[in-house]
Structure 1
Amino acid sequence: MTVHHPQVPAWGTAAPAAPRGTRLGRVVRVDRGLLTLATAEGPVRLPPDPRLHEDGPPAVGDWVAVTGERVAQVLPRQSALTRTVAGRTSAAQVLAANVDLVLVVDTLVEHARLRRIERFLAMAWGSGAVPLVVLTKADACADVRSAVEQVAEDAVGVAVLAVSAHTGAGLDELRARLAPGTTCAVVGPSGVGKSTLLNALAGRDAAATTEVRGDGRGRHTTTAAQLHVLPGGALLVDTPGLRELELADDEGLDAAFADVTALLTGCRFRDCAHAGEPGCALAAAIDDGRLDPARYRAWRKLRTEAETTELRRADRVAARRQREKAWGRAVARSRGTSRPR
């Protein structure tokens, strides 16, 4: 497969100025400890300065300053699509940086999984970009209109499109939303057709795909995020399918659950925990049918997860500071005993 790397002119006016004495590059791919960059001179593959990893490694979409044959600096991000890495850790992983639009992809082969879409929308809103829900494999759905309406009712303030890479249905409407010079990221679970969608938009085999399984779902194929240039001039980051998504923080919850958070001001008590207290506006909304109990439970679950992640992160930082202090005291004692008396 031929890998197409974008050149600087394809980025439009989004490119920042490089610091004096450096060259500007944009991260196209990260693998094997090396960064593939698009630069004015063409694609290059360079190692990052080890010190860059102290605040997290560079991510696809990052603008970087290059000095000599090394990436010396990651320039300030305008947005960052972030999750907590899988496992019992609070470490945050940036999937894509400097993104304008996030395509939250799910499939119409089965019933739309609203709780899963809500989780990805919270991550998308929290990135600082604008989300758009894309429902793939519309040709395999008996009632596309009803499926779209169901998702749209839950995805408050977000456009929902149904597309088919097989028939081409909906692709022109999606292309119209991918403005030249903007950076879009595709996110979603494994097997929902993200790579197939990318290939349809690119008009070529930009990403590897595999045969569809008996249940109508594809297999996970993308193993590393990569930035591609689409024919219309938009840039698209294809991210690996996420088997597990834990939010890095609660930044996007208010936007993803705008209908829920709008009700909170109606609670009788400011410190209402929204767990059945007297005068809770959410409980009243559930009772009179304005709020779906399943959506309420999803909101509480994600909020609890985000709070737990924040606590773990705070504990991790505190433990690291304690280790640094202990090391400093040990070094001081060592130096003290080594001095002549």
Structure 2
Amino acid sequence: MDASISLFELGWQTYFQQQLSLDDLEAHKIARVCQVEPSNYALLSEQGLISLAIQSSQPKMTIGDWVIVNSDNQFVRKLDRSALFNQEQQLIASNMDTVLIVSALDDNFNIELIKRYLELVHDAEADAIVVLTKADLCDEAEVEVKRDMVQRLNPLLMIETVNSKSEASLDALKGFFKKGKTIAILGAPGAGKSRLVRSLIDLDNAHTNFNVAQDSLFRLPNGSVLLDSPALRELQANEAMSSVSGFEMVAKLAEKCRFNDCTHTNEPGCAVRKAIDEGELEEQRVQAFKRANFSYDDDSAARSKPHDKFHRSAHSDARARKHSLTE
């Protein structure tokens, strides 16, 4: 038993509190999924670690879910989620309040990949903050140009530029870690995610690990929670690799188009449209390719408006209601 754990430290919010019944408060326990094994879930509660056998009568659950169990640690129900990452019907992680999208400012900088991550976070109904790392490897002018490219994705998007060697920039980032909030991190391999985490918390510290044997929920500065999982890391790698291979396919097809300035919309002799019609290429991949090759001058930005999805997300009534409950 670890009496030092409280629900608030595990990321408990008013959104979940309002789903509780009188029986839940008087006779049941509240716990959060911290590991998913083939035959059981590991749950973290105020009473410590709980093992819950997986049964066909239960809903599928994932890292971050909140669960109600009875006094015998038997499943009662799962609480409604405030956010969810899933891909191809696979549950990846849930109930994240804020997602840090980490991107390096060096030669690996990829604006299209940042867009893809923003789409994932938007679909998950979480808030996004873009963290641009390795600022010490670029001159100030290059940093500002790349930062401006990211800001064009959404004027309301929060962006932080950090140098992991500078305590000042890291302290500014810690200001986003609010008590009781759950943070997740996305980013391609080499973006600096691991180094960033090591700069923020000591993974070998027992206090960081809630003093129990689990590897998905960690204490962050200011009382927030870091949610991590193998599935989340695999999602990052898959997103990074698929963006490159898919664009190469579109580029090779585009070379076969009848017109050099083909927009792959409705021109005759378009090899890209032909591949889409024959089911050899996804329309979504072509649209992503076109966004990646779009010019970032003011006129083209006004014409194509490729970022409306992210701008609208800032004004989503559903998300506004959800977040108003967690304050």
Q: Which residue of 1 aligns with 2:31?
A: 25
Cα offset for 1:183? 1.2
Q: Which amino acid aligns with 2:115?
A: E
Question: What is aligned with 2:130?
Answer: 133
* SS, match of residue 60 in structure 1: coil
SS in 2 for 1:198: helix
Q: For 2:97, which of 80, 83, 100 is the aligned residue?
A: 100
Deviation at 1:158, TM superposition (A): 0.9
1:60 matched to 2:66? The reply is no
Kept in 2: contact 1:29–1:36 (CA 8 A): yes
Q: Does 2:266 correspond to 1:245?
A: no
Matches within 5 A, 1:1-341: 7-10=6-9, 11=11, 13-14=13-14, 15-16=16-17, 18=20, 20=23, 21-53=27-59, 57-67=60-70, 68-84=72-88, 92-143=89-140, 144-205=143-204, 226-238=216-228, 239-241=232-234, 242-245=236-239, 275=265, 289-291=299-301
Whether contact under 8 Å (1:24, 1:63) holds in the other structure is yes
> Which structure 1 segments of 5+ residues have no match?
85-91, 207-223, 247-273, 278-284, 301-341
Distance, in Å, in 2 between the alignment partners of 1:83 and 1:111 is 25
Per mean C-alpha deviation after superposition, the further-off stretch among 5-14 and 100-109 is: 5-14
The whole-number CA distance in structure 2 between the counterparts of 1:199 and 1:29 is 21
Code of the aligned partner of 2:238: E
Name which one, 1 or 2, has greater alpha-carbon Rg.
1
Runs of 4+ aligned structure 1 residues displaced above 6 Å come to 285-288, 292-295
User: What CA distance in whole angstroms lies between the structure 1 residues aligned with 2:176 and 2:298?
Assistant: 38
Query: Structure 2, unaligned stretches of length 5 or more?
Result: 206-213, 241-263, 268-293, 310-327
> TM-score, normalised to structure 1's length?
0.59
Shift of 1:244: 1.9
Distance 1:76 1:13, change over 3 A: closer
Relative to structure 1, the CA distance from residue 200 to residue 132 in structure 2 (aligned partners, 3 Å threshold; closer, same or farther) is same
Q: What is the percent sequence identity of the aligned residues?
A: 26
Report the residue type matching 2:69 in the other structure: V
Structure 1 position 12, deviation (Å):
5.2
Contact 1:112 1:151 (8 Å CA) reproduced: no
RMSD: 3.6
- Whole-Å separation in 1 of the counterparts to 2:220 and 2:198: 9
In structure 1, what residue type is equivalent to 2:81?
Answer: R
The structure-2 alpha-carbon separation of the partners of 1:130 and 1:42, relative to structure 1 and needing over 3 Å to count, comes to same
In 2, distance between residues paired with 1:6 and 1:109?
Answer: 40
Q: Is the 8 A contact 2:5 2:46 kept in 1?
A: no
8 Å CA contact 2:177–2:220 kept in 1: the answer is: no
How many aligned positions are there?
A: 235
Q: Secondary structure of 2:218's match?
A: strand
TM-score (norm 2): 0.61
Name which of structure 1's ranges 162-171 and 112-121 shifts more when overlaid on structure 2.
162-171
